[in-house]
Chains A and B, each alone.
Chain A
Amino acid sequence: MLITENITKSFGGIKAVDACSIEVKQGSITGLIGPNGSGKTTLFNIITGFYQPDAGSIHFNQQPIQGLKPSRICHKGIGRTFQITRLFWKMTVLENLIVPVKQIGWRTLLSQGVKKHEEEHAMELLDWVGLSQYRDTEVRKLSFGQQKLIELIAVLMSDPELILLDEPAGGVNPVMIEKMMEMVEDLNRQGKTFLLVEHNMRLVMELCQHIIVLDHGQKIAEGIPSEVQQNPLVLEAYLGSTQNVNAGA
């Protein structure tokens, strides 16, 4: 579904991503792991159009998407969350869910801000995560975990085919992590494809069917969880740096 070929990106002399070629198969939950600084978020930013790659190509459903604006990529069916949760803080929960735009049209622009069916769709999603009572609350007043959930379901509002999650479990309590994992599996059963960056190894090993490992901007390994876990290159990349890997946490 998503294929990147030889993507390279440098920042002032440092290669953040180095001839990286990965493939995300349709309907899969693919994990993207690697030590800090290995280029995972940079790759995300390139895929979603926030950075332009210096070289390489990206194809989504056989269509080239490198060089497109993030909003165009969103319309093509890719949604993403951010490593540090990003929401429209002063807007209400409902507004945060309504703002995402599925497509552009002149009539859409001038039309009513909050349409009936959009509101219904938003309430459905809110019910699903049990947050419908916060509908008119400003998101900045919610707890961290609740905000993360809102960010996730807001992405769902534009009905993407591929969802990129950037450290969804970051700073979240174990109960919430369980809940998120269930949500991802649920959505995956409904046909959504996932690519997630995560440091929480347990989540990655349990949730992902396929794992890609990056180090220093290059892909050093990939395969099913059990293979990757035992791959000596992977272990060296993690333990060789000052990273502590919570293999069992």
Chain B
Amino acid sequence: MEKIRIAKVVLPIVLLGILLVYPLVETSQYYQHIMVMTLMAAVMASSWNIIGGYAGYTSLGHAAFFGLGGYLVAWTHNEYGWHPFVSTWFLALVVAGVALAVGWIALRTQGSAFVVVTIAVIFIFRLLALNLSAITNGAQGLTQPRPGWGGVQWSPELMKVPFHYIMLLLLCLTIYSSWRIRQSKFGMGLIAIREDEGKAEAVGIDTMLYKVLAFGISAYFIGVAGGIYSYFFTYIDPGFVFDIFVSVTMVLIAILGGRGTLWGPVLGAFIMQPLANWVVSEFGGTQIHLTVFGGILLFVMLFMPQGILPALNEFLMRWNSKTRSASAN
């Protein structure tokens, strides 16, 4: 048990160390790119985890906030010259605000009805993005200038490096927030809501308030990620971001790693993102990557719905008690 506790502290530090030096060691742009995407996937899954894992409300609509962040950043960059690395942190507050409003409506429903409503949110956003073309440029989307700073473009070899570090910063912030929430009364309340919402309400937890807050907070980090993403690809269009698949990916990652745990989503991201990259590069022309994702999701939901980390935890605990009783004999 002690070993597990030590591992819980040491492993993240080791991971952080590796991630800090990664772009300096791994100079291949291709692998730097994958790492940026992996970090982003970890951010999105961990953020989603706040409403989907702690509170147990499976939202398939968070892609809407991802896209909204991306569009806000792209638009303000083109209109006012705001640099995404700065603006995204503030614009994501707008995204969170929108999420609070959306959540206030959507969270009146529960269970499968809630999932349905969140899917509808993505459709509405996509429809808006397609049709309000005066602002969003419709189906053609928005492009941004090539990444740089202060008017100087970054050289192609080093292009990915700043993105790596800002994504790493975002991930650290997300994990820290997730951790603080978990430790707080707010977090306990969310978990109580997940366990038995009626009972939680009966013992004095204002479930609507807690849920809406969690929904809004979970949208913030995803919004930041979306903003950085639109700059990373210098391009954003409605189909790109307002896609259920984007939501499903972050949900799958969180569930695979362990929904409701702190590190599960991160673990899930480090497994799924490289895998996803490989699948798309192998079979990208066809749509078969959808089938692979669907297959993995199906497998996880049927055979290990609690995810890897909790399963691992259980295994270790059982192994621990076995060795202890063995040594006692």
Contact = CB atoms under 8 A, between A and B. Distances in A.
The answer to whether A and B touch in the complex, with CB atoms under 8 Å apart, is yes
A108 B206 CA distance: 13
B205 A88 contact: no
Given A71-B207, A104-B206, A110 B184 contact: yes
B201 interface: yes
Contacts of B200: 88, 99
A154 B183 CA distance: 20
Contacts of B205: 71, 99, 101
B195 A101 contact: no
Contact of A109 (B185, B198, B207): B185
16 contacts: A70-B198, A71-B207, A82-B199, A86-B199, A88-B196, A89-B195, A91-B195, A103-B204, A104-B206, A108-B185, A109-B189, A111-B184, A111-B185, A113-B184, A113-B185, A113-B187
A190 interface: no
Interface in B147-190: 180, 183-189
A202 interface: no
Most-contacted residue by chain B among A74, A87, A88, A104 (CB, 10 A): A88
A48 B202 contact: yes
Nearest to B207: A71
Contact of B206 (A69, A80, A95, A102): A69
Interface residues of B, number: 25
Interface string A57-97: 00000000000011110110000101000111111000100
A100 interface: yes
B186 A99 contact: no
Contacts of B198: 50, 70, 86
A201 interface: no
Chain B contact surface mostly: helix
A74 B206 CA distance: 10
Nearest to A158: B204
A52 to B, nearest CB: 14
Given A74-B202, A88-B191, A109-B184, 8 more contacts: A71-B202, A71-B204, A82-B202, A88-B192, A88-B199, A99-B205, A101-B204, A112-B184
Contacts of B185: 101, 108-113
Given A86-B196, A88-B195, A99-B192, A70 B184 contact: no
A91 B195 CA distance: 9
Interface residues of A, number: 33
A98 interface: yes
Nearest to A100: B203
A137 to B, nearest CB: 15
A65 B208 CA distance: 18
A158 B203 contact: yes
B37 to A, nearest CB: 32
Contacts of B199: 82, 86-88
B135 interface: no
Contacts of B180: 110
Contact of A98 (B186, B188, B196, B202): B188
A13 B188 CA distance: 40
B188 A99 contact: yes
A82 B198 CA distance: 11
Contact of A71 (B195, B196, B206): B206
B296 interface: no
B202 A80 contact: yes
B276 to A, nearest CB: 32
Contacts of A89: 195-196
B209 interface: yes
B139 to A, nearest CB: 42
A89 B196 CA distance: 9
Most-contacted residue by chain B among A74, A87, A103, A108 (CB, 10 A): A74
Nearest to B180: A110
A91 to B, nearest CB: 7
A103 B204 CA distance: 7
A90 B196 CA distance: 10
A95 B188 contact: yes
Contact of B201 (A71, A88, A90, A158): A71
Contacts of A71: 201-202, 204-207
Nearest to B206: A71
Given A111-B185, A112-B184, A100 B204 contact: yes
Interface string A108-128: 111111000000000000000
B204 A90 contact: no
